[in-house]
A and B are shown apart, each in its own frame.
Chain A
Amino acid sequence: MTFSRDLAMRALDTARVRGATYADVRYVRREVEQMAVRNGHIDSVTGSEDVGFAVRALTDGAWGFAASQLLTLPEADRVAALAVEIAQASALVKRADVRLAAAPAPRATYRTPIEIDPFAVPLSERLDLLLRADTAMRAAAELRTTRSSAEISREEKVFASTDGAYVDQTLFETGCGIEAEAVGDSEMQRRSYPNSGARHQNTGGWEFVIKQDLVGNAPRIAQEARALLTAKPCPADVRMTVILSGNQAALQVHESCGHPIELDRALGSEAAYAGMSFLTPDRLGSFRYGSEQVNIQIDSLSPGGLGTFGYDDEGVPGSKGWAVREGLFVGYLMSRETAARLGLSSNGTMRADGWGRLPLIRMTNVSLMPGRWTLDHLIADTDDGIYMDTNRSWSIDDRRLNFQFGTEIAWEIKGGKKGEMLRNATYTGITPEFWGSCDAVCDDSDWVMWGTPNCGKGQPGQVAHTGHGAAAARFRNVRVGVVQ
């Protein structure tokens, strides 16, 4: 049961014969291995293989989509016919015909550059690393729960379309993380490393995990979790200067810039679930999103990002461009269909969560570009503020304006020096006001391509893996401390 060029061509032919004016077929084989250690013991060792294909057909000016895990020629016929039949049903409730912006029809291959094939690293070696990190956490502090985990994946995907595209890609991802939880009287605190949400992840090989040095960072994380139980509460409901760590700035970019620049949202396609966007098309090129310090790039070419690939799931090549340039909103994430609505071309951002999901506009690597400060200089330049590190809680309204974030840990900044540790830190704001108050972004020395491997969108739900380069950044007059 393997995929072949014949199967792809058969599906496209059948779709055309049944009446499709455009069709594409995607094959995906995804192999994932996950390992988790909890409280010194193996919590899970899980492998998975997921294989299938889908046909997307445009008929009578409307879309149909069908997917199957059976890789046979008769099934290619059936699925293509089904996609066309579904498209015909879609046309029953249609206001206008779908149009696609012109795009190249590449015949190409792409493979994630890796140094160490993660699947070639023995399972025992991977588990040993996680057990050592877990031991190091438990030795360093009294904790209720410790967790360490890693995930490796390889995704083989083929895209072919009636436009003549045929793209073959192999993408590798590797991720890992540790968590320490301490429980005291009416209080529970968690610290995570390198990022929260169980892991930090990149496209690449096992070299990424080695670089994170989980074991070396485990004692610090454990001690911080314990210390947070008795740390001072974050000040309540005050306005003050905030410096966000790079990983928290990355999530701030994800939620308050990455999502609102999705053109499908801005045009209402996601109104029922993920929501819409305050960055409406009439604001493109004229709306002041942030201060002049704020430069945010849309990029699927930089090595390592979870949004790095050769071609998107419409066969459009990866690209690099600007979403926000010196504070001005200048660019969307687009598909062929949405770009046509604005008279533009797709910048290659359509991605599906495996074979059985419809491609949607997803963030590639949406990154806050480096400024000119080192983190030490930025703290030294701050007389009175709070440094907040590693996300704990995140929420934003359905147009991406009102947000509230909490971080795992924070420190006072007094007289240019990092002071006492603070617990339960939160901050809240309105997106353009918040980015308008950004007066400094740190430089390359603090800039990391962070990974967000849990971005939800769509009905049925899809999880995308997105990249966000960011360094620490400073914001003035921020409302801090909703919860003590």
Chain B
Amino acid sequence: MAVSQQSAVLGETALRAATQKALAAAKGDEVEVLVLSRDLGLTRFANSEIHQNMRIASADIRVRVVRDKRVATVWTNRLDDDGIQRAARDASEKALVSPENPEWGGLPGVSSYPRVDAFDDETATTTPERRARLVGVICDPSFERKLRAAGYVSTTVTEVAVANSHGVWAYQPATIAEAQAVVLGEAGSGYGGRLDARIGAIDAEAVSREAIDKALRAQNPRELPAGDYEVVLEPYAVADIVEFLGEALTGLALEEGSSFVGGRFGERVTGEAVTMIDDPLDRHCLPQAFDFEGARSERVTLIERGAARAVVYDSQTAARNKARNTGHAYFSSEAYPYPLHLRLEAGTASREELIRGVKRGLLITRFWYTRWVHPLRTIVTGMTRDGVFAIENGEVAFPVRNFRFTQSYHEALGATIALEKDLLLQRIDRFTYGFDTGFCRVPAIRLGSFTFTGTTQY
């Protein structure tokens, strides 16, 4: 067997043994052990050739110890006996030195978890040669058309395990396969991306076709003035809106006064066509049955037909705010709940029908470099990227130069006219630096008004 075919799955038995060693070595009233393991194969390309190609196997263990409400956490990636014991001892000693946190709300107790099937053997054993051939499916047609393709094809195996001194044990392996491509011409670019638990479901030809077609149509864009436009946002752009609003739909944002739904539950905060749910068990959204504290993850309706309904909590924000823990803990050291399986419910229109309804407006492929300008008002600024087109009388008319927008995202959804009937699975980008977590499924959407505040030179 080639070295690259060896899977790095550690397995439930090994991870349970590792967590038990840490639980035994730590000294505290409460102890929690989290293991995050990832085996990533990623083949990256630019200028229509592979330029970075890697396999990275890593596993980290986090020991959190509570002694008289004094809390400390230690991470290590040394999973041998000595490394685990040292981390457990270190966390125990740090907890002893830390001042008490009177707000400490305790670790979650035992739960039962629904069975989740998120692992695909074929994806786990994908070779670099197979990834390279999928890259070729994207790069070669671009090269032949004198376009430049850039992006990646990746396959990932993840394992999450949580144990605590209250008897919690949770384990889940999963796989992720992904292909993303930006295709560039001399004056304009296009984008395509697909994500699934199974490599067999990644249609590299479709990614290639979508990005190339869009790149060809995007050449020689005209400049239109900044201003308010009716828009059709493709799912890549909509994912950004859902991602930012998700950050504001948490117990922490509510507690800190930075959420647009603060004091507004039951009130209309978006258009009536908008229903936004966090659904950790959505089998099409790389499901996860429990959060990073081992609490059972619940489905939470955040916005229902335009009205604010609820936010998500982890153990600590729930305790501080006398709310119910919805099982949305992230793995940061500070309490930081987040909806990690967001879904903007579909409408009934096709993509063509969304466009056909627009007399004068813009079709937007993606947003880029989006940042909060004012979190409480959900004002975000960012750029468009990889394909902006004018819509005239229901037809895509001509390519347009990129815009800068500065727009309240929930107010933009207040002008929702229609949503597409299909949903596209995507990553939540803000978690790309950590472990593989955070996904959403969203449709394309037609909005009555979106504010563009500037233009650029391409």
A contact set with B: CB distance below 8 Å: 1, 34, 36, 38, 41-52, 54, 62-69, 78, 81-82, 85-87, 89-90, 92-96, 122-124, 127, 131, 144-145, 181, 183, 186-188, 267-272, 275, 278, 356-358, 392-399, 401-402, 404, 406, 424, 426, 428, 430, 456, 459-463, 482-483
Contacts and interface: CB of A to CB of B under 8 A. Distances in A.
Interface in B384-405: 385, 402, 404
A42 B148 CA distance: 51
Given A42-B99, A45-B72, A66-B56, A1 B46 contact: no
A483 B52 contact: no
Given A42-B71, A123-B97, A271-B46, A51 B52 contact: no
Contacts of B381: 393, 395, 404, 406, 482
A89 B134 CA distance: 11
B128 A46 contact: no
Given A49-B87, A94-B50, A398 B368 contact: yes
Interface string B128-141: 11011101100110
Given A47-B90, A50-B75, A461 B432 contact: yes
Contact of A397 (B3, B78, B180, B404): B404
B132 A89 contact: yes
A38 B75 contact: no
B53 A90 contact: yes
B383 A268 contact: no
8 contacts: A42-B99, A45-B97, A85-B128, A86-B55, A90-B43, A92-B133, A124-B97, A269-B51
B257 A183 contact: yes
Interface in B413-458: 432-433, 453-458
Contact of B333 (A44, A123, A186, A406): A44
B402 A395 contact: no
Contact of B455 (A42, A48, A392, A402): A402
Nearest to B72: A45
Contacts of B144: none
Given A93-B49, A272-B46, A463 B433 contact: yes
A49 B58 CA distance: 13
Contacts, number: 285
Contacts of B139: 93
Nearest to B135: A93
B406 A483 contact: yes
Interface stretch (B24-32, B115-123, B341-349, B371-379): B371-379
B136 A92 contact: yes
A89 B131 contact: yes
A267 to B, nearest CB: 8
Interface residues on B, range: 35 or more
Given A395-B370, A404-B454, A428 B404 contact: yes
Interface string B96-109: 01111111000000
B125 interface: no
Nearest to B191: A272
B336 to A, nearest CB: 10
Contacts of B72: 45-47
A44 B73 contact: yes
Given A41-B102, A66-B56, 6 more contacts: A47-B75, A50-B75, A64-B54, A69-B79, A268-B184, A401-B458
B53 A46 contact: no
Nearest to A406: B373
B220 interface: no
B136 A131 contact: no
B159 to A, nearest CB: 14
A302 to B, nearest CB: 28
A254 B169 CA distance: 45
B382 interface: yes
B371 to A, nearest CB: 5
Contacts of A43: 101, 333-335
B51 A63 contact: yes
A144 B257 contact: yes
A356 B56 contact: yes
B77 A50 contact: yes
B23 interface: no
Contacts of B98: 42, 45, 123, 127
B179 to A, nearest CB: 11
A92 B135 CA distance: 9
Contacts of A393: 371-373, 381
A94 B150 CA distance: 13
Contacts of B140: 93
A459 B371 contact: no
Contacts of A269: 46-47, 51-52, 150
Contacts of B74: 46-49
A186 B262 CA distance: 10
Given A42-B101, A43-B334, A271-B148, A89 B48 contact: no
B379 A483 contact: yes
Given A89-B132, A272-B182, A131 B256 contact: no
Given A89-B53, A90-B132, A404 B46 contact: no
A82 B55 contact: yes
A181 to B, nearest CB: 7
Contacts of B136: 92-93
Contacts of B454: 402, 404, 428, 482
Contact of B53 (A36, A64, A460): A64
B321 interface: no
Contacts of A268: 46-47, 148, 150, 184
Contacts of A45: 71-73, 94-95, 97-98, 333
Nearest to B180: A272
B9 interface: no
B59 interface: yes
B132 A430 contact: no
A48 B335 CA distance: 18
B140 to A, nearest CB: 8
B128 A358 contact: no
Interface in B293-332: none
Given A46-B73, A124-B97, A395 B90 contact: no
A425 to B, nearest CB: 11
Contact of A78 (B3, B40, B54): B3
Contacts of B57: 67-69
A52 B56 CA distance: 10
A66 B46 contact: no
A48 B99 contact: no
A65 B373 contact: no
By CB atoms of chain B within 10 A, which of A145, A272, A396, A430 has the most? A272
By CB atoms of chain B within 10 A, which of A92, A269, A358, A397 has the most? A397
Contacts of B456: 397, 399, 401-402, 430
B346 to A, nearest CB: 28
A396 B54 CA distance: 29
B194 to A, nearest CB: 14
A271 B373 contact: no
Contacts of A54: 56
Nearest to B458: A399
A398 B383 contact: yes
Interface string B4-41: 10000000000000000000000000000000000010
